[in-house]
Structure 1
């Protein structure tokens, strides 16, 4: 299987939506296709998804891939998501958007053409803010829509190995559980949470467990703790010394990259009490001299830099 990177702004990672497995897979393939153009995309860009590509990446039959693409024309076009956005005044607002502004299926070529909505485009191409990446192969064998979303939510906390306490109502919305579904906690655990965790533990690079938190006698939230298996702890290119690829970057590039890296969620635990400018200066010093910090810290910085530059190519 191809070693593709899915890269999303954390606004999209933390959005609330309900997509079926095939629909999530098509969105992920579209994100990868957008990245592979090398030219960036706009709200007018047509992204082509081939049935053969879908079949290969998700290990399904050609017939299943044809059905996924054909059904998407009606189903995926109607799907919406909700996310939070900060205004210039610093206030948070809730935004609702479609995923797709235009979609069509070309039967004789078995190709799906997708145009992302204007709200989605910056959330899969903009890396000036926090973003999360993971390898498509990690979710390719997941057949639970809840497992895919849970994996995404967890991997955003990769460097800490645990999430904060996720309030139950917000958590349900993010993984796509409707208000009228699995209302009792026992049903939610049996039908959603535990099967999703079982799949993640079996099919991905992650081993996860959860703790429930109560307000009085009522479960009010969950905290997840997880580990990434050592054999899967590879950089996006599989290289052990990513920093060697960047030994020739100049001071102007260092300042630009350090500024962007300082705002990445994956590195936020390294910031301590530093604000963004101070954190960026600290990162810049590491890019100039990787031996100024512990090897594992330097590797994290350079791995994040590789992901950033690889995405922007």
Structure 2
């Protein structure tokens, strides 16, 4: 299961909902059972997704907290059944639905079976564009629901070639699913931001940093900068990728010689210098692991 892909529509990534950690783990474990490709099998409101306690133990538990795994799973499923989600639609409309429509509890087999709500299925299946995906194992070491939530957003943003996001604090609370909570800045910083950044920075391939902005005596907004850790040497002191360095790298004659047949380039990118440079800046930030012929900073010399 750990290598299963979790794929969700970006509309669902940005949706408004509140959820606890074990609910999110159960939800994602079931989502990872779905083949979201357009040519995959058709999933309906009758399709069932089963997760065993052993699978959840192997992925999300360590040796010190495994004894009550079925109880945790059952309680998570109970709560998840009642969770609502609000998704923005076109034309100033919103959809209010639930994630799941049914739960089967099987203590004898130590497993839980979910069926997804009919209205949520289009955001999990038959996805051809505007979706976010990652492997389930990538969030297995994140023990904060806020860390998982922020990690999903970062994967989504980087998929849109965005590596910095600025929020008013109330907007950040909304996107993190804590609207109306942590009203004091210190609470929000300590319980949501600091914890999420620490876990992401320690347990994933991303480096995230934050800056806060004051108006008068009050903090009013924050800026998140994020990139894959392998790009640290072309980031500035605030953790933001340097546009000047990226431009210098892709303009290097040696870089062009090394990667003029890079497999992700479009046909135009292989024949037009400006298009090559534009595409390669995006590919470096998205897939730095592809560029291993020499350290990227060497192309700056």
- Which residue of the partner structure matches residue 263 of structure 1? none
Counterparts in 2 of 1:99-178, with a 5 A limit? 99-158=99-158, 160=161, 162-178=163-179
- Which residue of the partner structure matches residue 85 of structure 2? 81
CA distance, structure 2, for counterparts of residue 137 and residue 64 of structure 1: 21
Q: TM-score, normalised by structure 1?
A: 0.69
CA contact (8 A) 2:4 2:33 kept: no
Matched residues, number: 245
1:58–1:73 distance in 2 versus 1, CA, 3 Å: closer
CA distance, structure 2, for counterparts of residue 84 and residue 163 of structure 1: 23
Q: TM-score, normalised by structure 2?
A: 0.72
1:290–1:107 distance in 2 versus 1, CA, 3 Å: farther
Question: Which of 61, 67, 71 pairs up with 2:75?
Answer: 71
- Which residue of the partner structure matches residue 60 of structure 2? 58
- Which residue of the partner structure matches residue 294 of structure 1? 276
CA RMSD of aligned residues (A): 2.9
1:198–1:73 distance in 2 versus 1, CA, 3 Å: closer
Structure 1 gap ranges (5+): 232-284, 305-313
Instruction: Please list the CA deviations of residues 170-198 of structure 1 after superposition, one character each: whole Å capped at 9, or x if unmatched.
Output: 3212222141x221111211221111111
Tell me the secondary structure at the aligned position of residue 19 of structure 1. coil
CA distance, structure 2, for counterparts of residue 120 and residue 23 of structure 1: 16
CA distance, structure 2, for counterparts of residue 170 and residue 19 of structure 1: 18
CA contact (8 A) 1:52 1:62 kept: no
CA distance, structure 2, for counterparts of residue 207 and residue 30 of structure 1: 28
Q: Which has the larger radius of gyration?
A: 2
Tell me the secondary structure at the aligned position of residue 46 of structure 2. coil
CA contact (8 A) 1:42 1:121 kept: yes
Instruction: Please list the CA deviations of residues 279-301 of structure 1 after superposition, one character each: whole Å capped at 9, or x if unmatched.
Output: xxxxxx9666773463994795x
Instruction: Please list the CA deviations of residues 33-60 of structure 1 after superposition, one character each: whole Å capped at 9, or x if unmatched.
Output: 1228952411221111111111112244
CA contact (8 A) 1:161 1:227 kept: no
CA distance, structure 2, for counterparts of residue 173 and residue 148 of structure 1: 15
Q: Shift in Å at residue 105 of structure 1?
A: 1.0
Instruction: Please list the CA deviations of residues 232-274 of structure 1 after superposition, one character each: whole Å capped at 9, or x if unmatched.
Output: xxxxxxxxxxxxxxxxxxxxxxxxxxxxxxxxxxxxxxxxxxx
